[in-house]
Every structure is written in C-alpha cells, then in structure tokens.
Amino acid sequence: QVHLQQWGAGLLKPSETLSLTCTVLNGSFSGYYWSWLRQPPGKGLEWIGEINRSGGANDNPSLKSRVSISLDTSKNQFSLSLTSVTAADTGVYYCARQRPYGYTFGQFDLWGQGTLVTVSS
Amino acid sequence: DIQMTQSPSSLSASVGDRVTITCQASQDIDDSLNWYQQKPGKAPKLLIYETSNLESGVPSRFSGSGSRTNFIFTISSLQPEDIATYYCQQYENLPYRFGQGTKLEIK
C-alpha cells in the first residue's frame, strides 16, 4: 500500500533552517503534486507549498519567500526547506499527496505521519 | 486570498444525533471544497471532495452539500468513532486554505 514517510530535525534554534524530507513508498511519484502543510500546537492547518513532477513549485505568500521545495525523482522523495525560523514556525509538519481531479490537484488524499518541529533558543 | 470561516468552532452531540457543520468562503469557489477529519495525534483524512463526493471507504453517514460560498457537512447519525476535529478546505485558488476547524465531542 502506498504511504508517505517523512523525517527531519525536530529541534531548531531561531534563525536556523528547517529541513524535512518525505519519501513515497510502494507507489508512483508521477502524476501527482506533492505538498507540505503544517499545524501549530492546538491550531488549524496551513498549506506551505507544493511541487509537481516536473519540479514546478508554488508556495504560500504568507511565508514571505522563506520556502523552498525540491524533489528527487530517482529516490521518490521531495523536501522542504524553511529559512530563518522563529518560534512562530513551531508545529507539526506534514507532507501530503495531491491527486489529479479534473483540472485541479487540490485534494490531499494521502498524508505522512507528521513531524513535530520546535523552534526554541 | 480566499478566507474560509467554519462554524461552530466546537460542538457537543449525542450518539445517534444528526450533526451539521457549515463553511463559508469569502468569495465564490464554485464547488472546489473538501472536508477532512483529524483525530488527536493523527494526520487529517480526506472524507468529502468537490463539495459532495464521498471518498472511497468513508461511511455513508458522512455527506456534503453547497456551492459558491456556502457549504454544509453532515453526519447523519453520530457514532463514537466520529469524535474528531473537522476542517473544510478550498482549492479554487492558491493558496489552499482551511477553515479553523470544528471540534466534535460526545455529550
């Protein structure tokens, strides 16, 4: 069964760079978009950004160009980099698959297990 | 950006009750709306896509309706395993946005 496995550093200091990677296991990488989302403690979900099979990416303007999403198709992996983190970036980070539906890729139908990232001095 | 407003933010109901959650978009999103269920400590799970389509394997007591700016999520007969937080999400325009969530509890 297809699933997403994610990993990365869970404790960062302010101004450091958050780095997370997600691998697609037992499934195809092509034909989907791939996203990162996050959830601050006790709060709702925020979309961070997406990347497609060709490497084209979009991100949430609220993150003020601190986001970089890349992919390694040879490893069925995609990665998130978020620079200059502050305490406001603390939360659970999820990778997710976006399936095609009509002309859109707006449904997150498969999620990673989540990684708690804490930013603290 | 399109803002999504969910109500109520929390809800207490009895087993067997009909439960309704509403989601309002700040502008017309046609039918580009999904609903997710999130249980504590778990990733969200897609329940309803494109306003009213039931995801494979999801019980038929869950349903969705609406269009343009006003959407409704319904559980026809609440079960104990439905205790979770529910989120709507628009995908008409980037950035994708979620409602603030509705926490459902058993009375």
- Quick one: pLDDT at residue B31? 95
Q: What confidence tens digit (pLDDT) does each residue in B26-46 have?
A: 999 999 999 999 999 999 999
pLDDT of A94: 98
A26: exposed, middle or buried (C-beta count within 10 Å: 0-12, 13-18, 19+)?
A: exposed
- Cβ-Cβ pairs closer than 8 A, A with B, add up to 56
Q: Of B13, B8, B11, which Cα lies nearest the Cα of B77?
A: B13
More confident residue, A54 or B68: B68
Residues written for chain A? 121
User: Percentage of chain B with pLDDT > 70?
Assistant: 100
| A61 DSSP assignment | G
| Closest Cα in chain A to B35 | A107
* Cα A110 from chain centre: 12
Task: Give the mean pLDDT of A20-36.
Answer: 93
Binned at pLDDT 50, 70 and 90, residue A101 comes out as confident
Question: What value does the mean pLDDT take over residues B78-93?
Answer: 97
Among A11-15, A100-104, B34-38, B62-66, the range scoring the smallest mean pLDDT is: A100-104
pLDDT of residue A120: 97
Q: How confident is the model at residue A119 (pLDDT cuts 50, 70, 90)?
A: very high
Interface test with B, best of A95, A105, A108 (most B CBs within 10 A): A108
Which residues of chain A make contact with B4, given a CB cutoff of 8 A?
none
Say yes or no: B89 contacts chain A, CB-CB below 8 A: yes
For chain B, positions 3-32, list CB contacts with chain A under 8 A. Answer: 32
Taking CA atoms, A46 is separated from A81, A82, B41, B90, B104, in Å, by 16, 14, 16, 12, 20
Q: Report CA dihedral (B70, B75, B76, B78) to the nearest 10 degrees.
A: -150
If you search the block for the tokens 């999820």, which residue do you land on? A94
State how far the alpha carbon of B40 is from the alpha carbons of B44, B63, B103, in Å: 10, 22, 10
As a 3-state breakdown, chain A gives helix, strand, coil percent values, each rounded to 5, of: 5, 55, 40
**For residue B51, is pLDDT > 90?**
yes
Query: Are A44 and B101 within 8 A, CB to CB?
Result: yes
CA atoms within 13 A on the CB side of B34: 24
Residue A104 has pLDDT above 90, yes or no: no
